[in-house]
Amino acid sequence: MTQKIVVVGSSNTDMVIKMERLPKPGETLLGGDFIKAAGGKGANQAVAAARLGGQVTFVARVGTDIFGSEAVENFRKDGIDVEHVSVDPDNPSGVALIFVDANGENCIAVASSANNHLSPADVQLATHQIANANVLLMQLEIPLDTVQAAAEIAHKNGVQVILNPAPARELDDELLRYVSIITPNETELELLTGKKVTDAASAESAARVLLDRGVKTVIVTLGAQGAFLLSGDVATMVPSKTISALDTTAAGDAFNGALAFALAQGMPLQEAVHFSNMTGALSATNLGAQPSMPTLEQLQLFMDA
């Protein structure tokens, strides 16, 4: 049986320019290729989980403009339930301006717009879906009180909550105690704990701070190195696969969508982290956020290769 995943989060349209190198302040660089792609951490993660075969409900807010309607149309094509993607009459859809250099490194500016107006009331309307999900997956591109409201509903109903604390923001213990699994990258973990993170050992020491604050499991994504898993007695590095990265913009989103999918299927935690590493790595070999999210079939070919 397909298990249910609810994603509460942002939807943006990404305007991506691929350059030899990133521009410096005040500098104009010519010669990049432009692509427009559907993005936003919430939407990316919803699409990642859906493309792998997950049954996904997305709770989000878009504007009345063409970006919003295109986004919703794309969610439908990926089989995502969009009943709770509301159209905001007063605020435009979210937009992200992204530069990607020849090494796949990026630099991003986001106009959140409608995403900033996704409210606790919007989440309350999706109470039934959240309460009946196997996994609730969220990020931090929407208001924190909205994240808190959804986490509370999930917690009250025994639904596991995965929080990808991106982009980096400080979080209250009140929210953290409702979080089953938190998935920071190095920068986010540093901001959350005040500890420098460079490798598995420093990731473990910082991750322990979050366990002490009430989170049950911490998974630190470490780019090409893979991910560090800390949960109960388990403290282990789960390596990724060696790839030639083209665009790592949404590798973290691919990772989180895959994690929600794998855990909703009942995959054991460490295996789920490996599965998510592979999805993150494969997505980094393709350009664009949602266009780079693989199907289960593509992922299996990549894992076997």
Contacts to ligand ADP by CB under 6 A: 166, 185, 221-224, 226-227, 240-241, 243, 245, 248, 251-252, 255, 277, 280-281, 284
Q: How far is the CB of 221 from ligand ADP (least distance, A)?
A: 3
Q: Which is nearer to ligand ADP, 58 or 255 (CB)?
A: 255
Q: Which is nearer to ligand ADP, 134 or 277 (CB)?
A: 277
Catalytically annotated residue among 14, 88, 122, 253: 253
Q: How far is the CB of 245 from ligand ADP (least distance, A)?
A: 4
Q: How far is the CB of 26 from ligand ADP (least distance, A)?
A: 27
Q: How far is the CB of 286 from ligand ADP (least distance, A)?
A: 12
Q: Which is nearer to ligand ADP, 96 or 281 (CB)?
A: 281
65 catalytic, yes or no?
A: no
Q: Which is nearer to ligand ADP, 100 or 166 (CB)?
A: 166
Label each residue of the chain as H, E or C. Answer: CCCEEEEECCCEEEEEEECCCCCCCCCCCCCCEEEEEEECHHHHHHHHHHHCCCEEEEEEEEECCHHHHHHHHHHHHCCCECCCEEEECCCCCEEEEEEECCCCCEEEEEECHHHHHCCHHHHHHCHHHHHCCCEEEECCCCCHHHHHHHHHHHHHCCCEEEECCCCCCCCCHHHHCCCCEECCEHHHHHHHHCCCCCCHHHHHHHHHHHHHCCCCEEEEECHHHEEEEEECCEEEEEECCCCCCCCCCCHHHHHHHHHHHHHHCCCCHHHHHHHHHHHHHHHCCCCCCHHHCCCHHHHHHHHHC
Give catalytic residues, as residue numbers: 253
